[in-house]
Structure 1
Amino acid sequence: MDEQVLLRVLGNLFLLAFDGTVLSKELQKLIEGHYVGAILLTSKNLESAEQAMHLITSLQYCAYRAGYERPLLVAIDQENGSLNSLVDKSITQFPSAMGMAAAASPGLTRKVAMATASELSCIGVNWIIGPVLDILSASRPSPLGVRSFGDDPITVLAHGLETVRGFKNAGVACCGKHFPSYGDVKFADGTELSMPSMDATMEDLQNRAVIPFRVCGQVGLSAILVGGYSLRIAGKTISYACLEKSVVHGILREQCHFDGVVVSECLTMESLCEDIGISQAVTRAVRAGCDMLTICQSHQAQLEGIAALKLAVQDGVIPLQVVQASNNRINAMKDGCTSWERALCPQGPTRLADLHMEHLALSGEAYRGAISLVRDAVDGLVCIRNLPNDKEVLLLTPLLEPFPSTATRRTIQETATTFRQFQLAPGEDTFQLFGTILAEHLKVRLTHTSYSSNGLRPLHEELISRSSAVIIMTADATRNTYQYGITKHVNMQCRYQPDEDGRARPLVVVALSSPHDFLTDKDINTYICTYDFTTPSLKNLALLLAGKLDSTSKLPLAAVQPAKLDTLERQTNAAWLVESYDGTRDWLGLEKFMRLISTTPESLDFLSPAGRANDEGSKRKCFVVRNSSTGTILGLLVTLIFQSQSDGQIETVLVDPNRKGVGIETSLREHALRYLASIRGFPGAGIGST
């Protein structure tokens, strides 16, 4: 294949992110010199809808001038709720996935998805990294929380299908995530700072986790993102799902019959870079069956990844027909969601503003359904609604940064003068507007204060004792455990310290995100979940508390109980990228490697930067498996060619003791044998020291 054609094919397989809000010189070089196929935009790239459109158009013009046959894929995470990469007054706010599932109308979910995609299409976005198709665990809270439609496969499938159809109707590609499922992961040390893992039998995967991916793939799902977590199936431990052929090709391609684009998790994950490095990750992801390789950060890592793929193809580690097939699938997706006419001339802000006005009613309908009265065992809401005007209600809220929507910022600024006589701590202003609205609806005196991980102070105790009712808000209390403890304390105080009339104070607990916070705690008599704390959500909460809105939504979760976490194991086998030894690049790593293995061959002087290990006139040729991100040498092989060129051998094979049995030695030997066989007149190879 022609060198230039090969560069275009290989570049098309990369999905890259970058820093900044304009087309940088580094990104321009990646487009013009390496022909990258897709760009991932994140919140750090996006300031407004108009700025986003100018940025995207500049990216497309850069690709057009570089001679691209098809436009760039321009991807964005826009899951609605509290997780949006682009926030602007002309971008309509909709509920989270779980909020939509609570509304219990798949048809409404399709309309919301189509509205979201239509608005993003106006500014040039042609690919949404969503929907989340993970089914949450039925036995423990999940870090995905409200990003998922729930823990019932039928619910997740129904809303996932309609989301895919909504995106497709708007002419925007989509990418289901995080195959095979991030919904049931555990963490080795109980915190989300450790590597997530999932235990499952093949039957579990087929009958539960992969169902939404399999079915959505059959109705037009453009792409599927495979996660980067550890997976243990039938006793075999896989360190990174997206690097494992039995997962990507075996389960996704063969068992689920998915023929769209397979996207890898970001290959610059810290654990992955420290473990094997970006070059090895790129090679293994493609060999596993991934079509598109995600590299989210570090320009240097992106260059390393592109170079590694080229080397792997040239060396035969990755067959050329494999990358050609991936290129064809990516081009087919591009043909379905973009064209040069659409890419260079998006509909723009005027059309976006018109759509936004059309979608406001849809947003209102969705948010009215996205609030759940989980239980009200003792008619706590009735008690609050019937309080006399001279009674006091206490509102306790955690310190949270306001959701970064223009509407939220504007309303906070507009009401700031009302509270300027108070000194507010960071995060205290998030619920100021809500408190004002609630007081107007309830027609009572309302006192609002915040609480934090420092616990309750005497002032809190005094406010509780003088109030006639308490409303306390939590946000992911299963992770922010101080919120759980404080809420339980307030509940006990309300129950056992009667008010001035001798009655127990009504307590209403509101979960602002996941309903898991107090889902199974029946000591909390009145419990509401809003699924996010955006402005529309909080306004509806005020209406519900005041009796002006009925909650008819369905809780999209079963009762859950905490479960113990298991430890992780390492993957046992893989193919590794082998590179020629470079003394200047690899010498420091080699010195550390030799100290690690505590052994030294008779002479390795030729490996020093001044040596001639890979000189054409040298009798030796050396190869390494290395972590390109850290410079760590994981394995070394030395071949010896006799002067007659009629015979040769593998002289030395050394492998990091901590990496034995994971395929490094096999990859080195196979590469060396291919090299020796390529030498003219060379009949075979012997084996030297190991």
Structure 2
Amino acid sequence: MSSVRKQTPLLKHPALMSCATFPPSNLYNKGWYDGPESTGQKRAWSQDAPYSREDRDSIRRQIGQMMIIPLDSPDPDPYVLHMIRAHYIGGVLLSRRSIRHSSDVRRLVYELQKTAREAGYSHPLFISIEQENGMFAPFGNGNLGTQFPGALASGAFRSVEILFDIAKQSALELQSMSVNLNLSPVLNIDEPNSGILSSRTFGDDPINAWRCASAITDAYRTVGLGCFVKHFPAPRQGTGGILETRNLTSEPRYAPFRKAFERGIDGVLLEPTMWATSPERTFQGKDCHVQNLIRKHFGYDGVLIGSCDRASEKVAGTFGGQLCISGFVNGCDMLIICEHPNDIQDTMEEIYTAVEMRRIPKASIEQSLDRIRRVKERYLSWDTALNPPQIQLTLPQLMRHNRELAFRAYEMAVTVVKNSSGFIPLTKARRSTMLRKNGTCALFTPVAPPRFPAPASQDPFEYFGRAINARGVVVSHSPYTHEGLTDTHLSLLKQANIVIFVCALDTDPEYRAQIETMKAVTRTRPDGALIVVAASSPRELLNELTFLETLVCCYEYTREALESAASAIFGEITATGVFPFRRKSGLGSIQQISEIDGFKRWEVQQWEKRRDLYASADLWKKCFEWNESWKLDVSTLSDLLDRPYQSKHFVVLDPRSHGRILGLCATYTIRAGKGLVGSMAMLMVDPEQRHKGIGLALHDEAFQYMRASGVIESVQLGSIFPRFFPGIPEEVPSGEQEWFLHRGWQMETSYIFDLFQNIENWQAPPGVFSDLGSQGITFGCCNPTIFEDLIQFEDKHFSGYPGWVEKYRALKDTNDFSDAVLAFGGRSVVGAALVFSGVGSNQISKDVPWPKAIGEKVGGLACVGMGPEYRGRGVGRGLVCAAIMELKTRGLKGCFVDWSTDRQVYEELGFKTYGKYRNMSWRKI
């Protein structure tokens, strides 16, 4: 970001002002700016007094805190240390040149923070970086840090949970270098002529952009990393070059920023047009200064930041001190100054002079400093800055840990946009047919520079060729340029049985040349197998779909993206990515684009019993009527859903039909030890409305609610109490199970079982009680005198099981002590089990609906556990027998066993499997 600037005459003292000459556009000329806009600010303006010489150090401290300078060296640069001591800068921006190794950066940052402390700083420096991942990452490139997918690939894989995990791990890697602020993510949506590369955006859907950005910012806050989003766009240009602001808050391009402002984002970077020019030339009057435009229209009171780089210089027509003064006058709280070290001190002197001459109001400086202070107090402290905590995992360990997550995300991002001829997947059988004897694959890739430092001779697409060759295919790899096909290419086309053509449009300003070369290949091989791979933004290819038979998108030409594309082409993974651009008119049917069209219509609302109960019962019947074992009436469903203070459910209502529910997601919180855990207990979508984004919208809303609660430590898929299913039922089709895997959930190898048997004629196995009696083991029901002993036993052995001990404690509230069947070793409680029935007052009978669904005289058995020293001695078997005998004495004819991970004991006693569920791993919030 550094650049050399021509030095200009400077005004270093107010006395020199009288003999200075300025061009008409100079910011020192009053006329287009006459002070702050609000009444309070005007009052403060009128009370401003000229700064004295004694205030010079105070000016330096204040203005310096509003500056960030790039750091281009991996060692403590004397120039940077001088800027800290003499000009009190507020932070530094790490660049690729300053990052050699995480430990080196950590030592460098410590030196900078130590210098700042010695200079009398009240708060530590911002150590910032622009880490967007993907191909636009100064740090995470596979060598310095984990290569994670960038924005466009993230917008394609559509899992905010995976994206949250990626952002969290990326933040931890940044913190291993003592970074405390990331200038990311990009909230702009893809628009023609926006000046933002498509690959840096999440696509052109503002709702999806905010979903992705929200997951990233939530992850940063979870680990205590500050973030400033970017780049707030200027209003559209109307007549006469004036920027229109009338419809500012309703335009889709501002929707992600509006949501970020509502969520209290720490800061936002501005486009140059927002701050680098005179408002009278661009906005509709003084009321549209940037500070009022954003502060008033959006009610945002966070940090606004501009970057004094070549783009802002081009917009403003000036540079150096005048550009910085323009930024502060127009409402920026901080500026990133990309001047050459030889010029930056002169720039600072110009700014000081402008403050002394009251061109930059004292009131606005104090407000900016207060906003900066709030952010620093939230994330920074001297204890951490000068005594960095010991890293639990070093950067190399983090990278090894994160590699699987990164590859998984890249694989999920691969999108098959078009496969009309069915060329892919290239299975072994199909390859043998298409390649025939001695067949080859021609691979054509653009000449594109490596995104990261690499040997000059290394082609970034070399990894792609190796990945294809590793599948047993002979590859002839030939790069192409803007000059099109050469005789070498034509010769390879004639010999090849399969042609793979790669486009990387974002990297080539002459992208039309790539498209024309692609068309030339299609004309040369009108009937051949041609697979086009978009290794950057595929937006420009949409207009060319009529020329293509097969289009695969991997969105980047990083090694991980290219190898994932190869895996999808050869059928080793299923391409599940969703195209991140909406349908363009006249293009016909494009696979998976329609999913985006449906996604943004769904508004998620909170479930309300009075409005939604009967519609929820109708939806349940429609979703689960195919299984006789899962019938629930309205009363039972009401008992499960209506749990004040414990539950929050979400619905998508049919906008075309009053009262109809298209999807429902139920969530609960339950105590586990000293903390709380969450349950995504059930997610169902009308079978006729699936694959339209309803389930995704519900899932994301529920997960975001639990993540934002601040008290939930981890989340399970399924629920404990109350219960629909403890995991994913095995009967659910595999495709629907995989849907949850794509959302970031992981299945364990174990299963959970519900069991049942008719007990009318059941008898305990001979000798079971006598054998245990000889060991001093007896059985009986609990009573008030021994209830505290029971609770002590449960607290000691089962306090870590969510909801377990609470169910035993609840017996006292309903006076149902006898619902606890106990095993005694002498006078001590050594085991316990809960029994219940659908007509009992025990709360567990309302938490587990299936005994009542089976029949009226069906009881249940739950929370069976023994002390560790009595396990494996047959005590559990005896306890189950004693519980069944207790149910029989109550006149019950069936026994339902709730949630067992070991069904062998129950099967030996005659039980049969009632339900089998995939055990899902808990997820940390």
The TM-score normalised by the length of structure 1 is: 0.70
Q: 1:270 to 1:330 in 2, by over 3 A?
A: closer
Residue 55 of structure 1 deviates from its aligned partner by 2.0
> What corresponds to 1:314 in structure 2?
356
For 2:354 and 2:198, how far apart are their aligned partners in 1? 39
Q: Is 1:328 the counterpart of 2:370 in the alignment?
A: yes
Question: Please, which of 388, 398, 402 is the counterpart of residue 446 of structure 2?
Answer: 398
Trace 1:546-557 onto structure 2 (pairs within 5 A).
Answer: 546-557=570-581
Once the two structures are superposed, what CA deviation does each residue of 1:354-382 show, in whole Å capped at 9, x if it has no partner? Answer: 33333223212211212111111111225
**What letter is aligned with 2:320?**
I
> What corresponds to 2:486 in structure 1?
457
Q: Is 1:99 the counterpart of 2:159 in the alignment?
A: no
Q: Is 1:360 the counterpart of 2:414 in the alignment?
A: no
Contact 1:238 1:244 in 2 (8 A): no
Q: Is the partner of 1:178 in helix, strand or coil?
A: strand
Contact 1:180 1:205 in 2 (8 A): no
> What corresponds to 1:416 in structure 2?
none
> What corresponds to 1:491 in structure 2?
522
For 2:296 and 2:478, how far apart are their aligned partners in 1? 56
Once the two structures are superposed, what CA deviation does each residue of 1:527-577 show, in whole Å capped at 9, x if it has no partner? Answer: 111111111111111111111111111111124589xxxxxxxxxxxxxxx
Q: Is 1:444 the counterpart of 2:486 in the alignment?
A: no
Q: 1:116 to 1:244 in 2, by over 3 A?
A: farther
Trace 1:501-580 onto structure 2 (pairs within 5 A).
Answer: 504-521=527-544, 522-559=546-583
**What letter is aligned with 2:282?**
I
For 2:485 and 2:218, how far apart are their aligned partners in 1? 48
Contact 1:267 1:278 in 2 (8 A): no
Residue 164 of structure 1 deviates from its aligned partner by 1.1
> What corresponds to 1:431 in structure 2?
461
Residue 302 of structure 1 deviates from its aligned partner by 2.3
For 1:513 and 1:244, how far apart are their aligned partners in 2? 41
Residue 180 of structure 1 deviates from its aligned partner by 2.2
Trace 1:407-426 onto structure 2 (pairs within 5 A).
Answer: none
Residue 351 of structure 1 deviates from its aligned partner by 3.1
Once the two structures are superposed, what CA deviation does each residue of 1:64-122 show, in whole Å capped at 9, x if it has no partner? Answer: 22121111001101100011112463621110111111011122222211111111011
Q: For CA contacts below 8 A with separation 6 or more, give which structure has more relative contact order.
A: 1
> What corresponds to 1:4 in structure 2?
57
**What letter is aligned with 2:346?**
E
Q: Is the partner of 2:378 in helix, strand or coil?
A: helix
Trace 1:657-676 onto structure 2 (pairs within 5 A).
Answer: none
Contact 1:198 1:231 in 2 (8 A): no
> What corresponds to 1:162 in structure 2?
215
For 1:352 and 1:82, how far apart are their aligned partners in 2? 20
Q: Is 1:176 the counterpart of 2:229 in the alignment?
A: yes
> What corresponds to 2:317 in structure 1?
275
Contact 1:17 1:296 in 2 (8 A): yes
Q: Is 1:261 the counterpart of 2:314 in the alignment?
A: no
Residue 510 of structure 1 deviates from its aligned partner by 0.7
Contact 1:268 1:297 in 2 (8 A): no
> What corresponds to 2:252 in structure 1?
208
Once the two structures are superposed, what CA deviation does each residue of 1:256-310 show, in whole Å capped at 9, x if it has no partner? Answer: 1111111012255474498233222222211211100111131244223322222
Once the two structures are superposed, what CA deviation does each residue of 1:201-259 show, in whole Å capped at 9, x if it has no partner? Answer: 632553312221121122231110011147999x98529x9x99725212211111111
Question: Please, which of 340, 344, 350 is the counterpart of residue 302 of structure 1?
Answer: 344
For 2:268 and 2:287, how far apart are their aligned partners in 1? 15
Contact 2:188 2:201 in 1 (8 A): yes
Once the two structures are superposed, what CA deviation does each residue of 1:187-206 show, in whole Å capped at 9, x if it has no partner? Answer: xxxxxxxxxx9976632553
> What corresponds to 1:470 in structure 2?
499
> What corresponds to 1:217 in structure 2?
261
Question: Please, which of 341, 361, 369 is the counterpart of residue 412 of structure 2?
Answer: 369
Q: Is 1:71 the counterpart of 2:119 in the alignment?
A: no
> What corresponds to 1:572 in structure 2?
none
For 2:572 and 2:217, how far apart are their aligned partners in 1? 34
Residue 313 of structure 1 deviates from its aligned partner by 1.8
Trace 1:86-165 onto structure 2 (pairs within 5 A).
Answer: 86=139, 87=141, 89=143, 91-137=145-191, 143-165=196-218
Q: Is the partner of 1:507 in helix, strand or coil?
A: strand
> What corresponds to 2:80 in structure 1?
27
Q: Is 1:248 the counterpart of 2:302 in the alignment?
A: no
**What letter is aligned with 2:400?**
M
The TM-score normalised by the length of structure 2 is: 0.53
Q: Is the partner of 1:456 in helix, strand or coil?
A: coil
Residue 336 of structure 1 deviates from its aligned partner by 1.3
Q: 1:245 to 1:94 in 2, by over 3 A?
A: farther
**What letter is aligned with 2:491?**
E
Indicate the larger mover: 479-488 or 35-44: 479-488
Q: Is the partner of 2:443 in helix, strand or coil?
A: strand
Indicate the larger mover: 395-404 or 289-298: 395-404
For 1:505 and 1:198, how far apart are their aligned partners in 2? 53
**What letter is aligned with 1:369?**
M
**What letter is aligned with 1:524?**
L
Residue 141 of structure 1 deviates from its aligned partner by 8.3
How many residue pairs get matched? 520
Once the two structures are superposed, what CA deviation does each residue of 1:625-662 show, in whole Å capped at 9, x if it has no partner? Answer: xxxxxxxxxxxxxxxxxxxxxxxxxxxxxxxxxxxxxx
Percent identical among aligned pairs is 26
For 2:72 and 2:276, how far apart are their aligned partners in 1? 35
For 2:401 and 2:420, how far apart are their aligned partners in 1? 40
Contact 2:234 2:273 in 1 (8 A): no
**What letter is aligned with 1:171?**
G
Residue 173 of structure 1 deviates from its aligned partner by 0.8
Q: Is the partner of 2:292 in helix, strand or coil?
A: helix
Q: 1:314 to 1:245 in 2, by over 3 A?
A: farther
For 1:482 and 1:348, how far apart are their aligned partners in 2? 52
- Pairwise CA RMSD: 3.1
> What corresponds to 2:98 in structure 1?
45
Once the two structures are superposed, what CA deviation does each residue of 1:572-621 show, in whole Å capped at 9, x if it has no partner? Answer: xxxxxxxxxxxxxxxxxxxxxxxxxxxxxxxxxxxxxxxxxxxxxxxxxx
For 1:75 and 1:490, how far apart are their aligned partners in 2? 46
**Structure 1 alignment gaps of length 5 or more:** 187-196, 414-425, 496-503, 563-690
For 1:524 and 1:295, how far apart are their aligned partners in 2? 46
**What letter is aligned with 2:440?**
E
Q: Is 1:15 the counterpart of 2:68 in the alignment?
A: yes
Q: 1:546 to 1:536 in 2, by over 3 A?
A: same
Q: Is the partner of 1:94 in helix, strand or coil?
A: coil
Contact 2:269 2:304 in 1 (8 A): yes
Q: Is 1:345 the counterpart of 2:398 in the alignment?
A: no
Q: 1:244 to 1:55 in 2, by over 3 A?
A: farther
For 2:219 and 2:505, how far apart are their aligned partners in 1? 29
Contact 1:16 1:40 in 2 (8 A): yes
